[in-house]
Structure formats: C-alpha cells, structure tokens
Structure 1
Amino acid sequence: MFNSVSVANFMRICAEVKIPLGPVTILVGENGSGKSSILRAIHWAIRCAVLRDGSDRVTLERMDYAPSRDFLHLSHKIRLNSEGASPKVRVVLESGPDKLEINMHSTRNDAGIKAIVAGSLASTITATAQITAYIPGLAGLSEAESLLATPVLHRRAASGEGGSVLRHILLGLAISATGRDTIEKHEELTELSRWVGKVFPGVRFWVKFDRLRDVNIDAKFLTADMVEPGKKLDLQWRSLEMAGTGFLQVVQIFAYLLHFKPRLLLIDEPDSHLHPGTQERLISALEDAASAFPETQFMLATHSPSLVRASSATSHVLWMSDGALRSEREDQVRQRMGWGALDKDLLLLTEDGNLQYMKNILAQWPELARKVLLWPTFGSGSLPRGSALAKTRQELGIAVAVHRDRDFLSDADKAALIKKMEYDIHGVPFWMPEGSDIEAGFCLPEHLEKIFDIDSSDATALLREAIALVDADAAETDFNTAYQSAVGGLSKEEVSVPSKRWRELAGPCAATIKGKMLLTKVEEAAKKRYIGTPDVKKLKGLKQISNPAVPMHSDLKALLEQAISAQKLLS
C-alpha cells in the first residue's frame, strides 16, 4: 500500500506537492486547482516508465497515455528539454521506507520522453505491471467492438479510452470467471452486477462473444425499473450502448477494478453525470471496495459536496488550490464542502429567500462576488445569533457576515438589535441597507434616470407617480407591522414606537414604503406614463430595473472586504 504520492513540475503543479494516501483519497478544489493534474501526472509517469526502452526512452507513438500530444509543454510553464539542469516532471510513490521515483525530461531530438526510474521499488515497473488504471470519464460508448489483441486492448484501456474497450473488459471478466476463451451464450457477470448494484440497486449484466461466429462483442444490461415480471430476459435487457453516461462510468470503474486490480485506481470527476443521491451511493461502494480489495487504493478528483458529505473515515479529503495542497484540517474541508463554501472567503447570511437582488448587487464587484457564498435563512427570525455564527466561522475557517432588511429601523434601533443578537461581542459584521430593504435601492431616482434614459427631474416625477399609486393606509399598516416585528424583543427604552418613527421619516413617502412594494408601483407608473406614447421604447428599461445602473450599496462592499481581510489575518 502506498503511503503518499508526490508530483512536481506538471501542468498546474509547480513546486512538489505531496499527497498522503489512504484507502480512498478524495481531492477537492475549484477548476484549475491541480486535482486532475495530480491524477494525470501519476498515470503518465507510470505508463512512460513501463513502456520505456533499454535507453529509458519512450516516443509519442509508443505512449499509450499522454495528457496531450504536445507533451513537451506538459511541464509547469517551462518547456521540457534534455538539459541536465532543466526542470523535470517528477512523480514519487512511497510505501513505508520504500519508494518509486520517476523523473521525466525530453529526449535530445524532442521526439519523446526519457523516463528515469529509481528507488527501491523500481523493480515493480515491468512490462506487465498494472500499477495504475485511469478513468477520465466516459463521453459515451462506441456502437460496436470487434475483438482486439490483448496488447492493443491494454493500450487503449491505459489511454483512458474506456468508451472503445468497455465491452472487451466485460468479456475479460466472463472469460476469467468461466475459464473459457469463448462465450457462446450470454454469460451473466454476477460480480460486476454486485458491485455496480451498490450504486444502481438491482442492475444485472451479460456478455457474449463466440469466437467462431461473432464479429462484435455483445453486452447487455437490465436495471430494476426495466424488469417486467413473466417476460423473457431477452425481451427485457438492452444493449449496453443504450445506457446513460453516468451509469456507464460507474460500470467502467468497477469493471476496471475487477479486471485489472490496479494498485492505484485514478478516477477523475465520477460525479459529473450522476444525481446527488447516486453520488452518495458511489462513494459508499468505493469505500466497500477499498476494504474488499486492500491491494487497490482509490484516488478521486471531485466537485461534489454530496459525495464528500457521504464519505466516511475510510476516505481522506484533501483540498487543492492553485497547484498546491491547502493546510486546512480535513474536518474543516469536509464542512466547507458541505456548505458549498470550499472556494469562498465569506459566508453571507441573508434573510431574503429570493437571492436575485442580492446577487445583482454583488455582481457590481465581480472579484468580490466570486468570494462570497450567499446563504438564505428565509426570514429575519431565522438569522443565527452571534455565538452560533462565531462557531461557524471557526469551524469553516471562513469570514461570516449577516444581512437583515432595515424595516424602517433607526440607527439607534439597529444598535439595539446588534446588541440583542450578540453580533457586537462576537465580532460578526452586520449590514442593513439605508432603505427599508435592498429593493429600495432600485427605486432611487438616479437609478431610474439611467434605466429609463430620462433626466433627473423626470426620474423624480416618476417616483412621485409610483408613490401616489400606493394605498396610503395599506402602506402605513405594513410599516407598523414591519417595525413592530423588527423591534420585537428589544428593550422599550432603547427603541421608538411605530407612530413616532413614521413621523420621523415624514410618511407616507419612499422612506416609509417597503422597497418590494414600491418597485412594483414604479413599474406600473412607467407603463402608465409611456404606453401609447412616442416614448414607449423607454419601457425596455423594465427588463433591467433589477440590475444596478449606478453604484449601489457601496457600504456593503466595504463591510465584506473588511470581514475577509480580518479573517485572513486570523488564519
């Protein structure tokens, strides 16, 4: 069993990255983080080591796997060359005190790779060695497969061309199980069915190839939902090429495991075509396989929170970022994956269930928006207290901030609310928009001016027309309800009363009407103003009314940036 693998100077990987290996190792991280680079480097190095000639050289034509035909540019930023001092692609597998080291550089004529193998495990590299099998993911299955010679079959399998040889692998399983070199009638693959059945319960497989009569290998499958009681099997099963991509990828994983029994099974994004529930069953099945096949270790690259969440202590979860291994604790990585916050710097909890307006606000600052995970609580009453958020911040190793609509609160009211929720003593950044809610910002005259391409006086007039369409009594009732709810539980000595606050804001006006309500009236007023007039084209602005046309809520930007900076100082 390998304890670790190290990769240096390959694609996204610059400085050496050492990956500790367990029975199942799961690499997570964003696109371009280096997850796939690790898998490809291992497989390429092993295959070049196996196929090298007596002078340690392997040409592109001999390589049964290469991540690119332009292999000289597979090193990190610097072209591979034959000079002794130049950087080399390096892969090291360690098993206790023993190791297998492979250093790769170009041949003098750049026609191939020179793979120098060293270490106490160098003798394990033989022409028939099956150290790795690589599954990059299927794009589908070829329509037919005629019989291939064993070396050709293994060459295609090593190349990752699972879609062209999967039936061959199934035939190999039948031949191994029966001891016959020809399968005249459909042979059921019970062991494959058992393992794939852990992911797709009730599935069954058959394969047939009569060497005297058949041209193509025939493979069939039957899922539980295809079964029709009392009907003959040959009227129920279907040809394997009719199966879906995700299903076929799971079949490939376990077929390769059973056929090759590699020491390292490298699987790139097995979740990409699977439902979250199926992803959970897949990782459970792989962990079972790790126990049943102790000589095989599994290494996966994934983006799936569901897969990581369902994994047990059998699996080790490691975080790749910018071509390096992050130092965060495994439990922290698992939790961040569970929240979908792996590559985020800040968790923004918002009382809004409809996230679109907040997303549009954050979209003003693209670099910042990419760092923020929005988490709706579907109501202000569900916002966590400061102690809970401080614990979340510590467990995830991520900045945390809270958005709550103002609901007509004064700054003094806001301070009382912060104190009640203990955001002050736990240092939780808390943001309230200046208006009643975030939608109120989209009702400002300067925004309307840009949206409808009108001057400032017209924009102000349009807002007045929208306010006139609001039922004053309903608006005041809504105001009283929202304000009383917002100050509920606060000391009466610290807050105002609805009637006093109404007068302070000079209601009824834009400041005393919920932005959500007022925005609909702005749209109604615009239609009244422009429909049937030469300016009807101005209504095109309605399609953009929920996108900031002028800088909006810059105080939120400052609060989030400060929170992220503060968290990085603590990390």
Structure 2
Amino acid sequence: MKISKIRIRSFKNIEDVTLDLDDMNLLVGGNNAGKSSFIQGIHFTISALRSAKMHGKSANMPASTLGVNQFTFLPTQEIMEINHWFPMTQDYGPKFDFEYFDEDGDLQDFRLSLYRGKNANVSLNFPKGSPFFRAASDVRAPFSVYVPGLAGIPLAEERRANSIVQTGIAQGDANLFLRNVLHRLEKEPLQMQALRTLMRNIFPNFAVETKFDENVNQFISSKVRLGGTWTPLEMAGTGCLQALQLAAYVILYEPKLLLLDEPDAHLHPGNQKLLVELLFSLSETAGTQIILASHSRHVFDSIKNNPLGSVYWLSDGSLVEDLDADVGLLLELGALDRFEELRNDEPKVLVFAEDEKTKKLEILLQSNGWDMEKCKFVSFNGVDNLEATKIVVEYFLSMNEESKVFIYRDGDGMTPDERIWALKRYENVLPDRCKMFISTLTDIEHFFCGPDHVAEICEIDEDEAFAIVEGVIDENQAKLSSKMTRKREDLKFKILRNFQGRANIDNIIGDRVSFHYSLGKILLPQIEGRLRELGHNFRSLVAPSAALRVQEIEDFEMPD
C-alpha cells in the first residue's frame, strides 16, 4: 500500500493542507506554521483507527466512539481542543483524508471524521470495511512510526512484551524501546544484516551487539562499535543513536509511514546530510514513505536535489503553493520565522541585525528619535554575504511596498576609508528602501562607552568620565590588541578582501589601542565596574542619552 495524497482539515494549527506524497517529503516553515501539527495529524489518524479496533466488539465491528483514555496517542489531553478554530462540536471536527493504491494497484480513498460524542467522548466516522482501516489498525505491525524531536534513549531497558513495545511506538515513545527492538533484530539474521549494511553507509566500522538472558539479566545489554572499541549504547554519539533508532524501527516493522519531527536537531551539518542519505536508503529498502519537518538548510538541499524527494512550505496552517522564495537561504540565515511573521503586515521598518538580543540596538535607535512601534527586528547571520543579504532584503520588501529596511553592522575596527568603501559596495547592490549602516565604532556596546555618554548617565564631569574610560583602556591593552587583531583578520576575508587600501593592523594599533579601536564588549563591563568602585550611582550604561545621537541614523525616514 502506497499513499499518494494526504489532506488534513481543521486540526490544531492546520486549516486545510493537502500534500501529494513522494518517497521523501520535507515540511519547512517558521514556528507555529503547522509542520508538527500535520505530522501529528497523520499519526493521530493511525492511532485512532488502531484504538477503534482494540476497543471494538470484534475485528469487524470497531468502536465508533472513544473516550480520551482509549486513544493510544493524543497530541493533547484536551482532545476537544484539537479542532482548528473552536472546540469540536457534534456537527464539526477535524477530517483526515488519505488517497492510496491498494494491493491491486487501484487508487482508493479513505476519510476519518471526528466529532464530539456524548459524555465528552469522541465520535469516529470512517468506512469500517476499508483496506486502509485493516492495514492501519493492525496491532501486530505499526503502520506509522512517529519520532518527535531529538529522541534520546533511557539508560536501561527491561525486556518488554511485543504488545507493550508496539503500544509505545503508537504513543510516540519509540525511543524508549530501542534495546528491545535491537534484541528482536538479533533473532532475525537477515534483518540484522540489513541494519548493519545501512548503518555502515554512514559509519563504515559500525557494529552492534545486544544480549539478554531471561534467567540471568534484568536489563537488556546493547553495545555499539564505531571504531576499535565497544561502547554502551547510551554512550554512543547523538548522530549514531539517531540514525540507529530510525534504521532499527524501519527494518524491524517496515512501517508504511515514518514521521519525524526535526530529527536533525543538534546534529552536525555533516551528520544531517548523512541522516538524509540513510532515510532515502530506508525508503528504498523497506518501501517506507517518510515525512519530516526540519529547519536545516542541509536537510533542505539534500531532499530538494533528490528526484525522489519533495519539499512543502507551510505557513500559518496552510500550504504555500510556490517556492519562488529561496527557502533554503532563509533557513540558513535563520530568517524564515521572521519572514512569515511579517507577511501582509502593516508598513514597518525591518531592522536587520546579526545579534539575536537587540536591546542595545533598540536603545540606540530610540535615542535617535525612532518610533519603536514601527520597528520589527530580524536577526540573521549572513549580513557579510552581499548576495544573500540582497535576496533576503528583497523578499522582505516585497511583502509591503511602503516598508523599509535598515541593516546594522558592527564596524569591527574599520578605518573611515574602509567604511566608505564598504558602504558604497552595499549601496550599489541593495534595493531602494534599504539603508545600510556600518557603525563608526567597533560594536553596539561601544556606543555606551563614550565619555560623553558616561558623563550624562552618571551625572559626572566629562573630563572625569574621559579619565575613567582611558584608564580602563590602559588596563586592558593586551586583550584589546588581541581581539582587534582577530577582528581585522575577519574583516580582511569577509568584507575588505577586494579593497586595495586596506590598513595594516600595526598602523591601526601602534603602541597603544585607542578608544576608536577598542572593542565595546570588553570595555563596557569594565567601565561599569570601575564607576561602581568609585561610588557612582547609576543603574546601567545601556540607557538612552543625547550622546548616542548619530546623524546617519537620525536622518533615516520612517514610513508613515
């Protein structure tokens, strides 16, 4: 049985989404876009059918109503709340449609509809004689395996009966029974050999060994070998454990659907690509269709570029019909969530910054007369990639013809000539309604270290503030010099590599690092500490002041 199409309506975050299924199916989108809801909806359907059979009067008379405690898997205990817009009623609830090819190759369809039943039960409406129902409700063979998030494993496992293991899988707790699954595979030489072969495609020297003697042992013992030594299963690396879980469950049970919610979380990019290779191999070997959600650019590229894979972009519970936007780039830059938040928003100034914490930048802009109600901050890590920045900025500006973009970049010790050259380079590429600002100081913290700002915040004489700041600089010369040297090396390769007039680090630092080339991240806490030692009463130097005025920022025109 191969599923050709799944449609889910009115379930959690999902309003109405239809996917034409490939062998491998990737769901991308921002937070709360509906990715996890779609995956949970599929597994919830399968578990509901399984539960209906388990609690029916006979295999041919499945239950038509279920209580909350009779479902083997629930996305929430408040089951009436799983309807999209409002709690389920006796007339309206979620609907799950599956199109599939039966054993004769004929295209069939199946629908499960849920409603509120009597006494807070759930009413299930579905064709009880359907081949899909018979396959999905088979208690001996899990139709779907659901692995939510990064699934760690327990430190020990007792030997469990098949019914307990399969129920655990149905509940979404597959990771709790990995040793039990490996123990069963040990008794099936052909399946165990298939597991080793698949794993060795990723880990060439992989081996696994599982032992249990019911007359001696309380817990199952499993060890893996990736190199020359054997390691207890729980001490294997995250990448190995994640791959082993997926491979073991698919090979043992050969589920029709493998449902994965961010299986790449916390994996190294190299392991993310290897994980996708394993998933394609599993799909080919077992005939399992895979649906996964991910925020990874590496997973996106690996699936998008494979003819057996499809990518679907979900946003606000609906399917984005085209992928004209460079979703992979947005994923890499961490901007997809913000991109979706701002779709169809009122005119805003979209402030792009490299740092996720934007409080200091907000105070700087506010001190220059900006209306913060009109600002939205977008944190992403690719501002030095000019082409990538151009693409992302154009996407944001396309959402509203009156919006503007302001890009903040730390100066990192650029000389005035270098800064002018870099600004022109950006301005020649970036679209209209976009302002690039490169700080004349080293970083955002540097603004709050100026003697005039310190004097205003602490209500002291500017000469005294100057002496305090210079004293801190003198005491931190070695650290400041080392950090600035690294910053200059980064600038050389990231942004100034084609600038012929690039200054030499020795000419910048000389015998003493000056205030202009001192890193604010180092200075700010040291200056605040010195001020408190001298008895000055202030809350924080990170506060608005007239000294934070910058003409380029002040002249930026906000949208009406």
Conservation of the 8 A alpha-carbon contact between 1:189 and 1:207 = no
1:390/1:428 contact within 8 Å kept: no
Structure 2 gaps of 5+ residues are 102-106, 340-349, 365-371, 399-403, 475-487, 500-513
Distance in 1 (CA, whole Å) between partners of 2:11 and 2:67 is 18
Equivalent residues of 2:97, 2:111 under 8 A apart? yes
* Counterpart secondary structure, 2:77: coil
Give the corresponding residue for 2:342. none
3-state SS of the aligned residue for 2:338?
coil
Give TM-score, length-normalised by structure 2. 0.70
Give 2:448's aligned residue.
442
On the 8 A contact 1:29/1:320 being kept in 2, the answer is: yes
Change (3 A) 1:524 1:332: closer
* Equivalent residue number for residue 329 of structure 1: 323
1:135 to 131, 139, 147: 147
Amino acid at match of 1:32: N
Is the 1:336–1:396 contact (alpha carbons within 8 Å) kept by the matching residues of 2? no
1:329-478 equivalences in 2 (<5 Å): 329=323, 332-345=326-339, 348=352, 360-362=360-362, 368=375, 370-375=377-382, 377=384, 384=386, 390=390, 393=393, 402-403=407-408, 405=411, 423=428, 426-427=431-432, 429-432=434-437, 441-443=447-449, 447-449=453-455, 451=457, 454-455=458-459, 458=460, 460-463=462-465, 465=467
Structure 2 residue 36 is matched with structure 1 residue 29 = no
In structure 2, distance between residues paired with 1:561 and 1:190: 65
**Structure 1 match to 2:481:** none
Q: Structure 1 residues 435, 239: CA separation in 2 closer, same or farther (over 3 Å shift)?
A: closer
Superposed counterparts of 1:495-506, under 5 Å: none
Contact 1:445–1:463 at 8 Å: present in 2 too? yes
5+ residue gaps, structure 1, are: 179-187, 229-236, 378-382, 472-481, 491-511, 566-571
State the alpha-carbon separation in 1 of the partners of residues 267 and 133 from structure 2: 39
How far, CA to CA, are the matches of 2:496 and 2:247 in structure 1?
59
Partner secondary structure for residue 157 of structure 2: coil
2:104 corresponds to: none
Q: Which residue does 2:199 correspond to in 1?
A: 196
CA distance in 1 between counterparts of 2:323 and 2:543 reads 39
Deviation (angstroms), 1:197: 3.1
Paired residue for 2:296?
304
DSSP 3-state at the match of 2:299: helix
**Cα deviation, residue 102, structure 1:** 1.2
- Deviations, residues 454-491 of structure 1 (Å, cap 9, x unaligned): 32xx25344554698899xxxxxxxxxx9xx999999x
Q: What TM-score do you get using the length of structure 1 for normalisation?
A: 0.69
CA-based RMSD: 4.7
User: What corresponds to 1:74 in structure 2?
Assistant: 82
* Distance of aligned partners of 1:253 and 1:125 in 2 relative to their CA distance in 1, 3 Å threshold: same
1:283 alignment partner in structure 2: 276
Distance 2:554 2:134 in 1: 57
* 1:103 CA displacement: 1.0
Contact 1:445 1:460 in 2 (8 A): yes
Judge conservation of contact 2:157–2:180 (CA < 8 Å) in 1.
no
State whether residues 439 and 515 of structure 1, in contact with CA within 8 Å, keep that contact through their aligned partners in structure 2: no
* Aligned residue among 206, 209, 215 for 2:209: 206
| Distance (Å, rounded) in 2 between the aligned partners of 1:366 and 1:242 | 50
2:502 is matched with none
**Is the CA contact (8 Å cut-off) linking 2:11 and 2:84 kept in structure 1?**
yes
Aligned-residue offset at 1:44: 0.9
- How many percent identity over aligned positions? 20
- Which residue of 57, 61, 64 corresponds with 2:69? 61
In structure 2, distance between residues paired with 1:219 and 1:522: 54
2:1 is the counterpart of 1:7: no
Q: What is the SS of the residue equivalent to 2:70? A: coil
Which position in structure 2 is the counterpart of 1:501? none
Partner of 1:158: 170
In the TM superposition, residue 30 of structure 1 has moved relative to its aligned partner by 3.4
Match of 2:120 among 97, 100, 110: 110
Seen in structure 2, the aligned counterparts of structure 1 residues 152 and 375 have a Cα distance that, compared at 3 Å, is closer
* Distance (Å, rounded) in 2 between the aligned partners of 1:488 and 1:43: 52
Corresponding residue number in structure 1 for 2:226? 224
2:449 & 2:176 partners in 1: Cα distance? 59
Letter in 2 for 1:9: S
**In 1, Cα distance between the equivalents of 2:167 and 2:9?**
26
Superposed CA offset, 1:243-296 (max 9, x none): 456543322211111112111100122122433322221112112222333x31
State the shift of 1:100 in Å. 2.0
Amino acid at match of 2:19: I
Partner secondary structure for residue 84 of structure 2:
coil
8 Å contact kept, 2:144–2:259? yes
- Structure-2 change in CA distance of 1:280 and 1:441 (3 Å): same
**Does structure 2 conserve the Cα–Cα contact (< 8 Å) formed by 1:101 and 1:118?**
no
Q: Secondary structure, in 3 states, of the residue corresponding to 1:427?
A: coil
Aligned residue identity for 2:251 = L
Kept in 2: contact 1:190–1:205 (CA 8 A): no
Alignment CA distance shift 1:396-1:203 (3 Å): farther
Moved more, 427-436 or 264-273: 427-436
- The one-letter code matched in structure 2 to 1:298 is I
